[in-house]
Structure 1
């Protein structure tokens, strides 16, 4: 359940990338419920346009695998507002491929979306926030994979680790301007990937989560909104893992094997 922020986000200008995905949609709905103005971006035209129409938001179709695509999104932001108050870098890709057999082109694509696009968007938004005296917030969507790599996701893990370091570096650079930069590591949410996950895989993942359930609509969005609220006014440069304890360490349920 999203807390009631009593109008704190009313009229706040919020940019969300990867908005047509599961967590992006949940986050857009949460900000909309709090009265924010939204610019929703995704590389999938129909889903993001439908979501924007439903929420009365602006839509921007942008391919974040290229610098030109990021520039198109920046142009869309500038077209609507002098600056954003909040940037949520949610877009990310996770090809399952071992490091030793991953082609350079794939690595470049992963880092383009997961690191370079957030960097380029943050750089622009920080400039416009500074120019307008806006004490805004940036939230980057990280992953427990930044701390717990897998045999088939090493490049993805490296990209998210880089994103967390970028978060900390930006926080150091922007604190004096009153701009806060944080990350959220969302938990496992079935349905967040393009391909449907087998039931046995979902069950296995659930057993590895100490709190015994997968991530739902109120989990990551609650953390994102809190980090952007006055309740977190002294929080910057950190990563908040909202994953039911998954990244705390290896877990085996009592009386059973994981």
Structure 2
């Protein structure tokens, strides 16, 4: 799809920008000429990301702790100071820790919910207020997961947070519609290295083999999908979830991998 310079000069905020998906999303919008605000916890990693993707002039990095209200408020202020208002917010930051519910304490539960759910609420409402003040009909995209619809052992808090994030997406879409601000969710597919946790090679092979389209997600999958949701081509889409996972959410091949059609 050709967006014909639609994002040239637009202001785009990407959280979790130093991670795998964050870099892919940032690079995609940078190629379209968007000015970027990249945020993550590590200033050095953010600077490296900026240097790697070389976004247009006016882009900047702002380190922020998404578990800290003052830090998030400073991020919102920085966006307002530099951009006036964002045109697009990509709530991409997330954590995927593993552990049985019986072993997870309340502090860890709160940390997961804080980053995966509370931060998107705080940033979406904070930046939406700037959009409204500036008359910007912006777009907010929450990066979700197939875990929103299918519970997984040892990552129940993550699944719960993503289910709630998709409900929050609908709620924000409903209440921000009168201001022309659209809010949607995007579910990317499995990609090795997308988690802060190291994944064993055998696990990666097994998960990838179960994907109906037979491969993991790449930068060419999530980036264009995000551009679409943020573009005028999706002007009548809000409160929706776009799944870009190679068919993994509709069913996997892991049980019947040995059963092939004779053709």
TM-score bucket of the superposed structures, by smaller chain: over 0.9
1:27-66 equivalence runs, <5 A:
27-54=25-52, 55-56=54-55, 57-66=59-68
Q: 1:97 to 1:128 in 2, by over 3 A?
A: same
TM-score, normalised relative to structure 1: 0.95
Q: CA deviation at 1:101?
A: 2.1
> Matched residues in 2 for 1:194 and 1:104: separation?
21
Q: Which residue of 1 aligns with 2:23?
A: 25
- What is the RMSD computed on CA atoms of the aligned residues? 1.4
More deviation, 67-76/30-39: 67-76
Mapped partners of 1:202, 1:188: distance in 2:
9
Question: Where do residues 1-258 of structure 1 align in structure 2 (5 Å cutoff)?
Answer: 3-54=1-52, 55-56=54-55, 57-252=59-254, 253-255=256-258
SS of the residue 2:62 aligns to: strand
Structure 1 unaligned spans of 5+: none
SS at match of 1:218: helix
Q: Distance in 1 between matches of 2:173 and 2:85?
A: 18
Number of aligned residues: 255
Query: Segments of 4+ in structure 1 off by > 4 A?
Result: none
Query: Residue by residue, what CA displacement relative to the aligned partner does 1:143-185 show, whole Å, maximum 9, x if unpaired?
Result: 1001011111101100011100000001000112111000001
TM-score where L is the length of structure 2 = 0.93
Within 1, Cα distance between the matches of 2:201 and 2:29? 31
